[in-house]
Chains A and B, each alone.
Chain A
Amino acid sequence: MLDFPRWKTIGISIILMLGIVFSIPSFLPEKTLNSLPSFLQAKVNLGLDLAGGSHLLLEADIADLRKTQLSNMEKTVRTAMRGESGPADDIAIGELSNAGGKISFLVRDQAQLDDARERLFSETQGAGLTGQRDWSIDVVDTTRIVMTPTRAGQAQAVANAMDTARDIIDKRVNALGTREPTIIRQGTDRVVVQVPGLQDPGALKELIGKTARLEFRMVDANADPQEAAAGRVPVGSEIVPYAEGEGSGAAFEVLRRQVMISGEQLIDAKQSYDQQNNQPVVSIRFDAGGSNTFAKVTAQSVGKRFAMVLDGKVLSAPSINEPILGGSAQISGSFSVASANALAISLRSGALPVKMTVVEERTVTPELGKDSIRKGAIAGIIATVSVLVLMLVVYGRFGVYACVALVFNVFLIIAVMAAFNATLTLPGIAGFVLTIGAAVDANVLINERIREELKRGRKVFQAVELGYSEASRAIFDANVTNVIAAALMFWFGSGPIKGFAVVLTIGIVTSVFTAVTVTRMFVAHWLRRARPTSINI
């Protein structure tokens, strides 16, 4: 017990000093923090339940994605069959259907079947690790080609779409100008969005809930309104409903299927005001290709109407009074400034490849968070102090050592959490209390063992030595089981349970270090200096 080597003392002291130094930034206000050198800027993040803010869990509509995937392939098939070098190269097809999640069509000339197959094969791509393609191409009844998406292809399509969706949501949320939002993919088809400090998630939800697929299409002037109301429209046209609150009485428009210009050709979108009625609108600008098309089409169609379609709903269908040159336009609708701004951001960031719905939402207002943190801190301090007093009253000098070690433990936990950039949540505070309990228990075990050994008539040094060595076994086993529990919580648990497990794991490691190693150092130095023949414990 007396031989506590100098290097060990120095090593432990350095660790404790580092613990204090690295825990300090977490107590400082933001302003002071920025003036510190960068290695000292790591601090413990506060979870949304403490800092206030919004947590949204978004889930992709996979069925919608499959539909898009299918219709894209349908277009690809039609293009591929048209051939590159003029009509002579065309392959005539018929009866194309996309029922049942498959694309199936007839090749009219059986001699061209192999050629058709070849062309389609070059349109498919490898998916997964097994060399599979994303679509399988089969010939049925010698003249019919059936294309089915493979499982690997579907998985890859989902993965790609989710990556894109995450990036786009990231752009949109960042455009809100909030501080440090977290946007991460979760599982195969989900994205978690966490925005600290956000009070009203309404704007956020509106922002990320929009697919923002924008299309400019011509209104079919030849459609007979009565026929259309009964669901009959000319070939090449379709019925598109008005968005809620738009259309001033009309429920739908009959639009040409062909898209004149789409959202991909935008280079800018921003909220502004209509010069005539001062209503909020969204001003957009097209790229060169888009501007040309827009100018050409509008020049040909003066007097006709075109429609702006957002996510499959008509926003407005103005008449073309003169050719629109210069490549800019205004999207009008019944917008508020906020919703016009949200649409502008969505348009700028591009269309979401798949529809996302909010499946979980948790919002905590900053005041409530502040209240929780204040009460939590006060209660934590009172709890810790009362335990410290109990230790002092019961174990005297050894209680003092235990208390000092406990205070170091608090600093170390905060320092390690800061270093790992961990997040402190309310259950995390509870975990904090539990590790304090575990640290106290370790010292109780040691001190009780010393008492016991003294009672058995052992000398002071021997009793202390035995107290530490015999108690360590139980402390070790107890903490390993807690680590097992914490690890399982971290792997399988969700949200709050994870936050709890992180603090618990860090706390177990630091509390064994302070409660066993650090107190042992104190005791060893005291024994060596004072050489007591009896101790009061």
Chain B
Amino acid sequence: MRLLKLVPDDTNIDFLRWRKLASFMSFFLVAVSIALVATKGLNLGVDFVGGQSVRVEFTQTMPPIDEIREKVGNIGLGEATIQQFGSDKAVSIRTALPEGDKSAAERAGQQLVSGIQKAFPTAKTGSVETVSGKVSGELIRTGAISLGLAIIGISIYIWLRFEWQFGVGALGRLFHEVSLTFGLFAVTQMQFDLNSVAALLTIVGYSLNDTIVVYDRIRENLKKYRKMEIVPLLNLSINETLSRTVMTTVAMLLALGMLLAFGPDVIFGFTAAMLFGVFIGGYSSVLMSTPVLVWLKVGPDSFIPRTSAGMEGGERVQRKDDGAVV
């Protein structure tokens, strides 16, 4: 039986030749993402802005969105945000947080549900969420804190396990991935809620996984090939891990694609964000996470234990049994 190889043996692609272009691309995309978030803004869900949201499922054909918007507008809770899910029979109807005390959201929620039931007698209200302004403020804060701490904590771990340059590289890459995902939410205007934060954290974790695999190989090669120049060494490391990067990325894209196609529409946003993150992660592993090591001047010296440098360093020469040296 011949097994499938996603990547041919012994690739020798000079990935770092494109490092300036890739870095420019990444800077550009991050800048665009930030600009998009600043101008278009995120479509924040009730978790983060407060208000009330009702999921309505129509048993017969769905009336046009404009009709729903108009009828919901007549309930008297201001203009509604209406979002269609993956299926063509369910929408999420959201109205802004009303003025008043902290139970105002809850009262408005009841008003919204009964208003919808009156306007569309055959429709079913599947789920109701009301969040007061105070709680949504806290949710934003805890969400931001957990995202920020996760990024910093992971970078510190990498700094301790590897070297500071690698920590900086990981931090930069995480920032890159998170910004781009925010950009995706701004472009598509997909609802950004607590589940989206979970998706962001997953992307952070996944992207780290990738970074570590490549960095681990660089560390190994730095010890092995003490005399090799840094750029060819990085290229070698990326090429050696290329088949793994491709295989894992394909497997993840496959799994997430199936979830996107067949999964419940409630996790549609989550899965879409993950899919995007995995895609960006694949690109970053190959082109994005290594140039920073060149600029920060990582070299073979980075991994010699400082106390025994003289004793051990002299003995370690390039291993002879390796045919794969570039």
- A residues sitting closer than 8 Å to B (CB atoms) are 49, 57, 59, 201-202, 205, 357-365, 367-368, 371-373, 375-376, 378-380, 382-384, 386-387, 390-391, 393-396, 426-427, 429-431, 433-434, 436-438, 440-441, 444-445, 448, 451-452, 455-457, 470, 473-474, 477-478, 480-482, 484-486, 488-489, 491-497, 500, 504, 536-537
**CB-defined contacts of A390 to chain B, threshold 8 Å:** 250-251, 254
- Which of under 10, 10 to 19, 20 to 34, or 35 or more describes the interface residues of B? 35 or more
User: Does B191 sit within 8 A of A, measured CB to CB?
Assistant: no
Residues 214-257 of B, flagged 1 when their CB comes within 8 A of A and 0 if not, give: 00110010000000000000000000110110011011101110
User: Does B313 sit within 8 A of A, measured CB to CB?
Assistant: no
Contact of A536 among B3, B6, B102, B131 (CB under 8 A): B3
**Which B4-31 residues sit within 8 Å CB-CB of chain A?**
4-6, 9-10
Q: Is the interface of B mostly helix, strand, loop or mixed?
A: helix
Task: Specify the chain B residue showing the minimal Cβ separation from A363.
Answer: B128
B316 to chain A, nearest CB (A): 17
From known contacts A365-B127, A484-B154, infer whether A57 and B55 are also in contact, taking CB-CB under 8 Å.
Answer: no
Question: 11 new A-B pairs (CB below 8 Å) besides A456-B323, A485-B154, A536-B3?
Answer: A358-B106, A359-B105, A361-B131, A387-B254, A436-B255, A440-B252, A477-B161, A478-B208, A485-B201, A489-B146, A536-B1
B304 to chain A, nearest CB (A): 18
Check A371 against B264 for contact (C-beta < 8 Å). yes
Task: Specify the chain A residue showing the minimal Cβ separation from B55.
Answer: A368
- Please list 28 pairs of residues, one from A and one from B, whose beta carbons are closer than 8 Å in the complex, sorted by A's number: A360-B130, A362-B127, A365-B127, A367-B124, A387-B254, A395-B3, A430-B202, A433-B256, A444-B251, A448-B241, A456-B321, A457-B323, A477-B158, A478-B212, A478-B213, A481-B209, A482-B205, A485-B201, A485-B208, A489-B146, A492-B142, A492-B145, A493-B143, A493-B146, A500-B201, A500-B202, A536-B1, A537-B3
Residues 143-166 of B, flagged 1 when their CB comes within 8 A of A and 0 if not, give: 101100110011001100100000
- B residues sitting closer than 8 Å to A (CB atoms) are 1, 3-6, 9-10, 55, 57, 101-103, 105-106, 109-110, 124-132, 134-135, 138-139, 142-143, 145-146, 149-150, 153-154, 157-158, 161, 194-195, 197-199, 201-202, 204-206, 208-209, 212-213, 216-217, 220, 240-241, 243-244, 247-248, 250-252, 254-256, 258-259, 261-264, 266-267, 270-271, 274, 321-324
**CB-defined contacts of A367 to chain B, threshold 8 Å:** 124, 126
Bound together, the chains give a CA A371 to CA B125 distance in angstroms of: 14
Max chain A C-beta neighbours (<10 A), residue from B198, B241, B323: B198
Check B124 against A365 for contact (C-beta < 8 Å). yes
Contact of B244 among A372, A378, A436, A444 (CB under 8 A): A444
Max chain B C-beta neighbours (<10 A), residue from A201, A391, A437, A451: A437
Bound together, the chains give a CA A387 to CA B142 distance in angstroms of: 34
Bound together, the chains give a CA A274 to CA B129 distance in angstroms of: 38
Max chain A C-beta neighbours (<10 A), residue from B135, B217, B243, B259: B259
Bound together, the chains give a CA A373 to CA B138 distance in angstroms of: 29
**CB-defined contacts of B135 to chain A, threshold 8 Å:** 57, 359-360
Contact of A482 among B109, B209, B250 (CB under 8 A): B209
Check A492 against B209 for contact (C-beta < 8 Å). no
**CB-defined contacts of B217 to chain A, threshold 8 Å:** 474
